[in-house]
Amino acid sequence: MLSMKNISKVYQTEKVQTHALRDFNLEVAEGEFIAVTGPSGSGKTTFLNIAGMLEPHTGGQYMLDGIDVGKLSDNQTADLRNQKIGFIFQGFNLIPDLNLFENIEVPLRYAGIKSAERKRRIVECLEKVGLASRAKHLPQQLSGGQQQRVAIARALAGKPRFLLADEPTGNLDSLMARQVMELLESINEEGATIIMVTHDAELARRAPRNIQVVDGQLADFTLYQNKTIEAVANATAMEV
């Protein structure tokens, strides 16, 4: 479903060249639930942004459902993102002056879905996250956990096959974090492919597949155990 070959990302300023990702290779199959861990600054979010087509990669090839993402125009990229990808952010990123219904409606508007279908999907998604009765509330009237559930509902509304979550429990207490994780697991069981960046080792362990990003490169969990254990241990120690 997702294939990254030798992906690199270089941030260039006048004097400094920063390699955020280098020779990054990853294959993700349909229906997988992958936890991405790694030290701060290792390139996890850059990987997630490139996977979500929020920023372009500098080199290599990124194929999503057989489509070479690097060759798409901005409009095509936006359409592909809208149709196939749902985002869940650490900071929820709900639009403050839109109520829950309207927040969830945003991706559906850009997808050109008709009013009646939009309404049906929004109600369905709000019911799924247990907030159907709060549809007219503004985000600031909800707790952090509830806001994240709305963000998940918004990500699900477009029926994406691919959910990208960037530290979705980072701003939540442990109880709410567990609830959100359970929600993600149930979504995964329904068939959605999920890639979740997290610093929470407990949550990462609940994911069937774990990958590590270290210095902009992928270290698979097995590799991590056998070959790069020292490097990862050092990196983790630095993070702590």
Partner 1 sequence: MLFYYMDIGWRSLRRTPLVSILMVCAIAIGIGITMTSLSVYHMMSMDPIPAKSDRLFAVQLNTMDDNTDWWSDDNMPFQLTFKDAMHLHKLKLNDRDENIDIRKTAMLVAQFAVHMNNDEMAPFLAMTRIAGREFFPMFEREFVYGSSWSQEQENNAEAVIVINQELNERLFGGSNSVGKEIYLDDTPFRIVGVMQQWDIHTKFYDVNNGPFDSPEPIFMPITLVEPNQIDTAGNTNGWKYGDINSWEDFLQSENFWLQFWVELDNKQETQRFEDYLLAYLTEEATKGRFEREVPSFSVRDVNNWLDYRGVVSEDNKVLVGLSFLFLAVCLANILGLLLGKFLRRAPEVGVRRALGASKRQVFLQHLVEVSILGLLGGSLGIAIAQLGLWGVRTTSGNYQALATMDLGMLLAAPAIAIVSCIIAGLYPAWLVCKTQPAIYLKTQ
> Which residues lie near partner 1 (CB under 8 A)?
45, 49, 52, 54-55, 74-75, 77-79, 81-83, 87, 89-91, 93, 95, 97-98, 106-107, 109-111, 154, 158, 166
> Residue 110 or 221: which CB sits closer to partner 1?
110
> Residue 55 or 202: which CB sits closer to partner 1?
55
Give all strands (DSSP E) within 2-124, no chain letters.
2-12, 17-28, 33-37, 59-64, 67-68, 85-89
Beta-bridge partners for 164 = 87, 195
Determine the Cα–Cα distance for residues 97 and 100; give it in Å rounded to an integer: 10
> Residue 38 or 107: which CB sits closer to partner 1?
107
Q: Least distance from C-beta 85 to partner 1, angstroms? A: 9
> Residue 111 or 132: which CB sits closer to partner 1?
111
Q: Least distance from C-beta 80 to partner 1, angstroms? A: 9
Q: Which helix (H) or strand (E) holds 77?
A: helix 74-84
Q: Least distance from C-beta 112 to partner 1, angstroms? A: 8
Q: Least distance from C-beta 222 to partner 1, angstroms? A: 29
Determine the Cα–Cα distance for residues 101 and 104; give it in Å rounded to an integer: 5
Determine the Cα–Cα distance for residues 188 and 26; give it in Å rounded to an integer: 19
